[in-house]
Structure 1
Amino acid sequence: MSRTTKAFASCIALALSCQGGFADTVREAALKSHPSQGEVHAIQGARVALATSTAGVHFDFQSAELHPGHAYTLLMAVMNRPSECPALPCTPKDVLGRSDIVRSDVGVVGGAVARADGTLYITGIQKVGALPEAFFGHGLQDPPAAEIHFVLNDHGPAIEGRMVEMLGTYRGGCTDESLPPPMPAAARASGNTGPNTCRLVQNVQFLPERPES
């Protein structure tokens, strides 16, 4: 474990211990371009780390290769019963089409505007329970046993007066036509329409740390 990762682990452990849990494992995974954007490739200069505890999760999301000045939201997809997926990792079809079976949910856990160099940084804690702007209402139930994906959603150029929803809802500022067909009604109602095009541009996957109870 690198010095940076050790320092990050210490910060996570302290944060989650204050919430009633303790993170003893920090994992990193490769951030990649989203399959909807063409050939998948690793995002150079990116770093994503995740720590889980019985109280929740702490994530550290550092991205690159983005459009300067664009607004982005970070979606967290949770599969509380990954054993019900035909194979691991679970797929978008499992998350969006089999939610009642895999007890999946998706929420907006952060947002930021890409810097002039195309980088972006979002960090946060998500406690067990309901997710912000949730798609299905299943929430985060048992973090160490869950499969967790992070997906970066591009809302297009920042629109003056609409930044709160562009950084805190699924579709704030975007046209209906730009939303993928499988998205449920709750996702389409998360934010108001606008002139921009929403695109899922990057994603990363973390497999369960242990079997479900």
Structure 2
Amino acid sequence: MIASFVIAWCFFYAVSVINKGGEKMVRTQRKNLTICFKLLATFTLLVAVVFSSQTAIASSTVQQSTGDVSLSASDFISISSSDVRTISDGSVIPGAGSKLIRTDEGVTMELHTSELPAKNAVTTWWVIFNKPENCTEGQAPLRCGEGDLGNPDVQASVMFAAGSISSANGKATFGSHLSVGDTEGCQTGLPCSQGLTDPKGADIHLIVRDHGPIIPDMLDEQISTFGGGCNNAPPDTGKPGPNTCEDLQFSAHEG
């Protein structure tokens, strides 16, 4: 199941890049393709380790001074699924959804959505609440909300995940991986509290942001920075442009 999920992500992401035809493959796309193939190798090894561990457990009991120790697949990985919803009213977008894989080393996401403006530049963002038990601004049923981003006790970060161009019918698929302690996706002007520090316990919201119609000489900025191509973004969050940008959708995975 794990391998199937990763293979599917790699396949659909590669197809989405190839379908862009003459458009250049920007830095973030090359990085995500490299990540997905590394994940294939990692999960292949993981499956082998889990299988060998379960075989050993079935034939013997591991003894330590504190007592019996048993292992299971949950010690290595967990997977959750979530709807994609509109930020404006919280309604579920039919046929859209996201998956999040958590391990001790980091998190991997895939998000497929629709009802986007056609052929626009679109980005997705990790919004991480490492200490969700300290959140106070969430709107039910979510524990954490935008108002918690400035609370140091929450240890929140907003980080770039992936960028793409929506299809002619307003659909897009995104995939990204974030390792513990990796702050490369942090950007000036956005909260960043050491990135991801608690991959299994953090509440993670995935935000889908519209950057408007493609601006050919700004495409890289549009699909890799928060304010790329925007006339209404916070200062220093990307090269400004003529488009009005907006956070349109979200998908939440609570720890």
Measured against the shorter chain, the TM-score band is 0.7 to 0.9
Query: Which residue of 137, 143, 163 maps to 1:89?
Result: 143
Letter in 2 for 1:18: T
> How far does residue 92 in structure 1 lie from its aligned partner after superposition?
0.7
* Structure 2 counterpart SS, 1:132: coil
> How far does residue 188 in structure 1 lie from its aligned partner after superposition?
3.2
Query: What is the Cα-based RMSD across aligned positions, in Å?
Result: 2.5
Query: Which residue of 25, 37, 51 maps to 2:78?
Result: 25
Q: Output the CA distance in 2 between the equivalents of 1:89 and 1:170.
A: 24
Q: When the two structures are superposed, what TM-score results if normalisation uses the length of structure 2? A: 0.68
Change (3 A) 1:81 1:163: same
Which structure's relative contact order is higher, taking Cα pairs within 8 Å and 6+ residues apart?
1
The answer to whether 1:15 aligns with 2:34 is no
Change (3 A) 1:50 1:16: farther
Percentage identity across aligned positions?
Answer: 26
**1:16/1:23 contact within 8 Å kept:** no
> How far does residue 203 in structure 1 lie from its aligned partner after superposition?
0.4
Q: Output the CA distance in 2 between the equivalents of 1:205 and 1:102.
A: 16
1:128 corresponding residue in structure 2:
180
Query: Which residue of 164, 169, 193 maps to 2:240?
Result: 193
Q: Output the CA distance in 1 between the equivalents of 2:237 and 2:162.
A: 14
**1:111/1:167 contact within 8 Å kept:** yes
The answer to whether 1:71 aligns with 2:124 is no
2:103 corresponding residue in structure 1:
53
> How far does residue 23 in structure 1 lie from its aligned partner after superposition?
5.1
Letter in 2 for 1:199: E
Deviates more, 1:103-112 or 1:18-27: 18-27
**1:16/1:55 contact within 8 Å kept:** no
1:116 corresponding residue in structure 2:
168
Letter in 1 for 2:123: T
Deviates more, 1:61-70 or 1:20-29: 20-29
> How far does residue 58 in structure 1 lie from its aligned partner after superposition?
0.6
Q: When the two structures are superposed, what TM-score results if normalisation uses the length of structure 1? A: 0.81
> 1 or 2, which has the higher helix percentage?
2
